[in-house]
Amino acid sequence: MKVTLCVVGRLRAGPERDLVDDYLARFEKTGRALGLGPVRITEVEDRKGGGLTAEAGLLQRALPKGAMVCALDERGRVLSSPEFATQLGTWRDTGRSEAAFLIGGADGLAPDLVARADFSLSFGKMVWPHMIARVMLAEQLYRAASILAGTPYHRA
């Protein structure tokens, strides 16, 4: 199952970029034998200042056709890492050829875009900067692949 991160904003060179690149490379290496990956990142920017509605339109156009859509939203489901791994495996095992994860900008995602998503995921009640959320998602994808592969990376 291919994975696409559809995100608002450009991640510049720096520690966040290094972490995302590292975790996604690990995910692809671990996930390959499990039918997970490759990962593609599609970054969009609203250069006209249209706010959430404009960002939603850009993200909607960036979504791969037929992908299972998971919106990262503070009101989404909070899962443990093993539960997230199980969810990712379920999407793969039910024949989904691609999963797309949506990460909004500084103001999050438009409510109508979240409502249209197949699944809504939260990293807890705290609000995280969207660039940190990208790092957290990359790490959790790698952790999920590690859990599904039975490697010792995840210690419960």
- Determine if the peptide bond prior to 38 is cis (ω within 30°): yes
pLDDT digits (tens, 9 = 90+) for 143-155: 999 999 999 998 8
Q: Is residue 56 part of a domain?
A: yes
Q: Is the pLDDT of residue 50 over 90?
A: no
Q: Is residue 101 part of a domain?
A: yes
Residue 54: give its domain's CATH number.
Answer: 3.40.1280.10
pLDDT digits (tens, 9 = 90+) for 4-26: 999 999 999 999 999 999 999 99
Q: Which helix (H) or strand (E) holds 76?
A: strand 68-78
Q: Is residue 71 part of a domain?
A: yes
pTM, entire model: 0.95
Please give the pLDDT value at position 156. 67
Q: Is residue 42 part of a domain?
A: yes
Domain hosting 33: range is 12-149
Q: Is residue 154 part of a domain?
A: no
Q: Is residue 26 part of a domain?
A: yes
Q: Is residue 7 part of a domain?
A: no
CA separation for the pair 122, 70 (Å, rounded): 10
Q: Is residue 156 part of a domain?
A: no
53: left (phi over 0), alpha (psi -120 to 50) or beta: alpha
Number of domains composing the chain: 1
- Give the residue-averaged pLDDT of 71-84: 97
Strands 2-8 and 39-44: parallel
Q: Return mean pLDDT, the chain.
A: 95
